[in-house]
Amino acid sequence: MKRASTFLGLILVLALTSTVSSAPAGPGDSGAYRDDGFATAEAGLSPTEIAGAEIWYKATAGSARFTTYTFQQRLGVLIDWYRVLRADQQGERFKAWGLIHDPDCCVPGSAGCPAKSLDETYGFEYCRGDDQLLSHVGKPGYRDPACDFKDPGGRGDKQSPCDLQFGTSTGALGLRKFPNPRFDAAKWQKVNGGRLGTWEGFTKRLSDDPKHPDFKVSHLADASIEPPYLIGMACGVCHIAFDPLHPPKDPANPRWENLKGAVGNQYQRISEVFASGMPRDSPEWQLFAHDRPGTVDTSAMPNDSVHNPGTMNAIINIAQRPTFPNEKVLKWRPVASCPDKSDPDVCWCEPGKPGKCKERKLQVETVHHILKGGEDSIGVREAIQRVYFNIGSCAEPCWLNHLTDARQIDPQQRNFGQTEFEIGQCRRDCPNLRAIEDRLDDVLQFFLSRKPTDLWQARGLEDPRDLVEQLDKELGKGAVDRGRMVFAQNCARCHSSQSEPFDNRDFLAKDEKGNRIDWLGNDKPTLASEVGTYRCRALHSNHMKGHVFGQYGSESYHERAGDSNVADTTGGGRGYYRNISLINVWATAPFMHNNALGPEICGQPAAPAPDFYASSYVEKTADGYRRLPPEQAPKCWPYDPSVEGRYALYKASMEELLNPDQRVPKVTLLDDDIRIEVGLRSIGNHKIKTLKLQIPEGEPAGLLVSLDYKRLVDDLIAAKADPGALKARLVAHDKEHGAADAALLGHLADALPHHLDDGDIYKVGRPEASRLLRLYGNCTADFENGGHPFGGNLPPADKKALIAYLATF
């Protein structure tokens, strides 16, 4: 009897701890703390895979300092975390920001929520582990839950798991919070009208008068006021999303069963999150906070002056991802020891850990090509490690000193341009890097466990043939079979990892583990001019030698020839797109690396939550672009992660893909003027002229981002200081245009100083835009949904057939 009751009790405990819980552990329940909802989302994994999943979902690896201090103070970009994460607008957060709600968090005061008021949580949601965390706001001594991370197979000589830095959820998956020991409650209450549970005083503009300079200023810019939390990012912030097989009934309130960690969040507006505290007419907002949902410009922070947002694509079926042999790879590799007095940037042993040594050396080996252009090319583990830099890990000790300072226009000063950071230095100086690096195999195993999510499964069908039947019924008798032939003859050359001939290939075959045999993409680099899609992403320069992530590009990558068919500078690795996988393409529309091909999608949140959608549908004019009026522009499609919502979006996107002549051009335009005014406005009663710059609404954001303005400014200065040398340099570079270019710069150098204080600098230079872009444009591409014309000439029936067949992918 006793055994039976013990057994029942055990079952009860297991049931309570393993099923989805609606209420996080409350104050005093620290013993019951289990932040393991992710294990429900990723059910059925091995211990190693689930360890990798936990890291992916939770590990910020030190990014909290980056997104709390560095972003704001050094990069000068303000993030309004309260605007993004405030508990009282949780219901609209997904629609506004595309962030996925953590099912284990609750709004204080709601039924069953351990926190009863927003004052208890400083305006945020209450999440698992917050009983401990909240007691350390404003105090030292917080013990990060990551310290309890269990390494499968034991800790061994791995870096302490504390350095994974989990913190607790903010309510948005992948955004994690940490108690700020520097928080001063009295200061906080003073700025927030006596309240602890709001940040409104901290974030509100200091003036309501649009003409007053304080209209653009809030205490977000006052770094002397420490917020209650530091907010960090885990990789999951961009990658956790709705399971295509089990979409939520209410996208604002998913359950763990509706979530998967490596799907890629197609709805997220991370660029708006990053600039959420900036004024609407600031360059940071107008130039960078317009990326399409589900895309992120990972080079915006390193600032390579190339406009290149790219999708957070699904990580599935990677066991079959193509590899490339015979590549020259210079990277760190494990060795038993290092010679005495080794240069630590070449060979280094971790102190106190005998035999844990690495040496940086060149070998010929087989590697994957990762990222849109295959830039990450020294190994899959290193590519995973680099993702942590994208989220801000090790920024201060390792790579921040190597970024471009947007304000530095002197080529002799540090941070004029990027420099390459040393991975070896980072390993020595950043424990967070070591904490991740020592567990990369766990994360990789998690990735390898991610299986395809097929449409037939999503529709609850018993057999793939049932889907074929449905598609044939919808798109024409025999459509799927015919589509297979069309695919083999027209698409497989790039979108199959099998070898030619393709006619009799089974593109959908699976191995015994359920993985597709065919990656449905060969991952080979294709010249951007051949694909024809918006080429700026292919011109991403962060992985070039001497640039910030140069050590993550292989020697073979660096030696790639440029694309001589495009007007912009290529080479050094740049100029290519990888032929991507089409697995589960039914679930990942809109298409292309920038999500620009297909209907625009939008959240349509209810006020007061912000609505960031701005139509990018344009028509070309004599000297630029005009945004189509609402009645002429196609409507945006509201977010719909349901199976049929994804399928409908897929079909519409395929129609656009296969009918290039019917696409309505898209160009992201400024939706407000950029207004910059700097300098002293007065001394005593004496008014002083300030430096003003105004760029009008409607100008293309991409071209402006991609303008190498530093070279332009330097040449304008040279046009005044040494016009002869400038002319000689420009003529040497371009015999045909050099002299005229020098004359143009001379003219501008004479004219612009007269407009420093009237805001018309841009207006003066604008008529010469095409010549200036030829000289200083890093990427001069225009239509964001152009290119990839393949299939455009197919007969209508074949297009339908292809749409039917690809839906089975």
> Within 336-365, which residues bind another protein (CB under 8 A)?
344-345
Give the span between the Cα atoms of 183 and 226, in whole angstroms: 5
Q: Give least dist CB 82 to another protein, A.
A: 19
Residue 261 and residue 446 in contact, taking contact as beta carbons nearer than 8 Å: yes
Neighbouring C-beta atoms of residue 28, cutoff 10 Å? 9
Q: Candidates 328-336, 413-421, 549-557, 625-633 — which segment interacts with another protein by CB under 8 A?
A: 413-421
What's the full length of the chain, in residues? Answer: 809
Q: Which is nearer to another protein, 152 or 476 (CB)?
A: 152
Q: Give least dist CB 398 to another protein, A.
A: 8
Q: Which is nearer to another protein, 269 or 402 (CB)?
A: 402
Q: Give least dist CB 213 to another protein, A.
A: 5
Within residues 584-643, the interface with another protein by CB under 8 A covers none
Q: Which is nearer to another protein, 419 or 569 (CB)?
A: 419
Q: Candidates 161-169, 330-338, 518-526, 548-556 — which segment interacts with another protein by CB under 8 A?
A: 161-169
Enumerate the β-bridge partners of residue 328: 364
Within residues 382-401, the interface with another protein by CB under 8 A covers 395-398, 400-401
Q: Give least dist CB 657 to another protein, A.
A: 42
Enumerate the β-bridge partners of residue 627: 618
Residue 279 and residue 296 in contact, taking contact as beta carbons nearer than 8 Å: no
Enumerate the β-bridge partners of residue 760: none
Q: What is the DSSP letter of 74?
A: I
Specify the amino acid at residue 304: D
- Whether omega for the bond prior to residue 590 falls within 30 degrees of 0, making it cis, is yes
Q: Give least dist CB 701 to another protein, A.
A: 22
Q: Which is nearer to another protein, 222 or 250 (CB)?
A: 222
Indicate which single residue of 64, 468, 486, 618 sits in contact with another protein (rule: CB under 8 A). Answer: 64
Within residues 419-438, the interface with another protein by CB under 8 A covers 419, 421-422, 425, 429
Q: Candidates 177-185, 275-283, 596-604, 637-645 — which segment interacts with another protein by CB under 8 A?
A: 177-185
Give the span between the Cα atoms of 208 and 203, in whole angstroms: 13
Tokens of 291: 């990326």
Q: Give least dist CB 51 to another protein, A.
A: 13
Give the span between the Cα atoms of 674 and 713, in whole angstroms: 19
Q: Give least dist CB 201 to another protein, A.
A: 12
Specify the amino acid at residue 253: N
Enumerate the β-bridge partners of residue 683: 686
Indicate which single residue of 249, 407, 477, 735 sits in contact with another protein (rule: CB under 8 A). Answer: 407
Q: Give least dist CB 54 to another protein, A.
A: 15
Map residues 195-224 to x or -, x wherever contact with another protein holds by CB under 8 A: ------------------xx--x-x-xxxx
Kindly state the number of chain residues that form the binding site for another protein, as judged by CB under 8 A: 77
* Centroid of chain to Cα 278: 19
Q: Cite the beta strand spans of 323-404 per DSSP E.
A: 324-335, 347-349, 357-367
Q: Which is nearer to another protein, 389 or 577 (CB)?
A: 389
Q: Which is nearer to another protein, 419 or 490 (CB)?
A: 419
Q: Which is nearer to another protein, 212 or 620 (CB)?
A: 212
* CA pseudo-torsion sign 524, 529, 530, 533: positive
Assess 147 for contact with another protein (CB under 8 A).
yes
Residue-wise burial string across 636-659, b where 16 or more C-beta atoms lie within 10 A, e elsewhere: bbebbbebebbbebbbbbbbbbbe
Q: Which is nearer to another protein, 74 or 255 (CB)?
A: 74
* CA pseudo-torsion sign 107, 113, 116, 121: negative
Assess 62 for contact with another protein (CB under 8 A).
yes
Q: Which is nearer to another protein, 257 or 714 (CB)?
A: 714
Determine how β-strand 295-296 pairs with β-strand 259-260.
unpaired
Tell me which residue of 624, 584, 565, 658 sits closest to 266, measured CA to CA.
584
Determine how β-strand 601-602 pairs with β-strand 637-638.
parallel
Q: Which is nearer to another protein, 9 or 153 (CB)?
A: 153
Q: Give least dist CB 232 to another protein, A.
A: 9
Q: Which is nearer to another protein, 383 or 748 (CB)?
A: 748
Q: Give least dist CB 685 to another protein, A.
A: 5
* φ, ψ (nearest 5 deg) of residue 296: -145, 140
Indicate which single residue of 29, 209, 250, 410 sits in contact with another protein (rule: CB under 8 A). Answer: 410
Indicate which single residue of 47, 411, 478, 767 sits in contact with another protein (rule: CB under 8 A). Answer: 411
Residue 639 and residue 95 in contact, taking contact as beta carbons nearer than 8 Å: yes
Assess 569 for contact with another protein (CB under 8 A).
no
Map residues 98-137 to x or -, x wherever contact with another protein holds by CB under 8 A: ----------------------------------------
Residue 807 and residue 650 in contact, taking contact as beta carbons nearer than 8 Å: yes
Give the span between the Cα atoms of 550 and 527, in whole angstroms: 21
Give the span between the Cα atoms of 63 and 65, in whole angstroms: 5
Give the span between the Cα atoms of 723 and 716, in whole angstroms: 9
Q: Which is nearer to another protein, 724 or 796 (CB)?
A: 724
Residue 215 and residue 207 in contact, taking contact as beta carbons nearer than 8 Å: yes
Give the span between the Cα atoms of 595 and 72, in whole angstroms: 29
Q: Which is nearer to another protein, 87 or 395 (CB)?
A: 395
Map residues 650-689 to x or -, x wherever contact with another protein holds by CB under 8 A: ----------------------------xxxx-xxxx---
Q: Candidates 414-422, 450-458, 481-489, 768-776 — which segment interacts with another protein by CB under 8 A?
A: 414-422
Q: Which is nearer to another protein, 75 or 315 (CB)?
A: 75
Q: Give least dist CB 48 to another protein, A.
A: 17
Within residues 721-760, the interface with another protein by CB under 8 A covers 721-722
